[in-house]
Homo-oligomer: A and B are copies of this chain.
Amino acid sequence: MVNIYEIAKKAGVSHMTVSRAFNNPELVSEKTRNKIMKIANESGYRPSQVARSMRTKKTNYIGLILPDIINPFFPEIVRGVDDYARKDKYNVILANTDNDYEVQASLVEMFLSRGIDGIILSGIAGGKKDTELLNNIIKKGIPTVLIDRYIPDVNSSYVITDNFRAAYDATNYLVGLGHERIGVISSPQKIKIFQDRLRGYKAALNDNDIVFRDEYIFEGDESISSGYKTAKNLFTKYDDFTAIFAMCDFMAFGIYKYCRENNIIIPDDLSVISIDNIYTSAFLTPPLTTMSQKKYEMGYSAAKILIESIKKNKIPDTQLVLKAKLIERQSCKKVK
């Protein structure tokens, strides 16, 4: 590939003038600059980012680590990250982990070896190993922003949804529709944000003078199949719930499946609300009422926080909490 010296030679200037013409055009006389640019264009010259990174110790890459891009929760986040990053001439390196700690750790190593400028960690599970990993990254001074989930004991920058509020609002909405017996299809309570959601549910019941019952909580994971199985458990044990609050859309998808197979009509026999608003939840029958998480904005803001602090050469410390928004569709109905 043609390099800076060739251009310099053709233009009759030193290679430094060429470098300046690209990086600090104001330091080069207009005439010289135009000449250089013309020659560069004709020669198909492109500054080598690799060589530049070598000197500057900046690569303009950010690493984006997430469990699985196939999960419809993530694509919007990725899009948000990419959109902000590209505006600032950063590129995004994407990598899936399937929540495997070993993979996560080796990715971090790989990223460091590649000299990436910062990391966005989305959907980190939050176990002991994860905490260790995150602490490690922070100790190394790599700018890092968490998305969607945070780890309580670790002082890191993050962008998350107000999970307490989202669950509170969802529950409150059901109560407003007259529901009192509201089951919960819960995601793992070992994960902080789901604890927050459960607290929101309890608080809403409490504020409406409805007694909370532990037996109404049915815990699964975050998959459609788990939603299905957990719904089955619930209906095997009780048949008098008028509504279910699912902690994520995927779990609601599973509930839909169970109901379809068992002739339970949503919303006539059962109201369903959840949290997420993934792309296709609007196309279920009936369209799913859900608390929409601002996924795109989460990605966009996380990239903004990360890149701004990279530029200032400091560790990001912003903690951003976004409100979820009720998307009223047709899976909930008034009772009595």
Q: How far is the CB of A82 from chain B (nearest CB, A)?
A: 6
Is A16 engaged at the interface, CB distance under 8 Å to the other chain?
no
Number of copies: 2
CA distance A149 to B280 in the complex (A): 24
CA distance A49 to B86 in the complex (A): 22
CA distance A95 to B75 in the complex (A): 12
Q: How far is the CB of A136 from chain B (nearest CB, A)?
A: 11
- CB-CB contacts of A188-214 with B at 8 A, as 1s and 0s? 000000000000000000000000000
Q: Decide if A92 touches B91 in the complex (CB within 8 Å).
A: no
CA distance A54 to B53 in the complex (A): 10
Interface size on A, residues (CB 8 A): 46
CA distance A80 to B82 in the complex (A): 19
Q: Can you list the 8 inter-chain pairs with the closest CB atoms, starting with the nearest?
A: A285-B285, A280-B280, A46-B113, A49-B114, A69-B75, A94-B94, A50-B53, A70-B75
> What residues make up the interface of A, taking CB atoms closer than 8 Å to B?
46-51, 53-54, 59, 61, 68-70, 72, 74-76, 78-79, 82-83, 86, 89, 91-96, 109-110, 112-115, 224, 253, 256-257, 260, 278-280, 283-285
27 intermolecular pairs with C-beta atoms under 8 Å apart = A46-B113, A49-B113, A49-B115, A50-B59, A50-B114, A50-B115, A54-B54, A68-B79, A69-B69, A69-B79, A69-B82, A70-B76, A70-B79, A72-B279, A74-B75, A82-B96, A83-B96, A86-B95, A91-B110, A92-B93, A94-B94, A253-B280, A256-B283, A256-B285, A279-B280, A280-B283, A283-B284
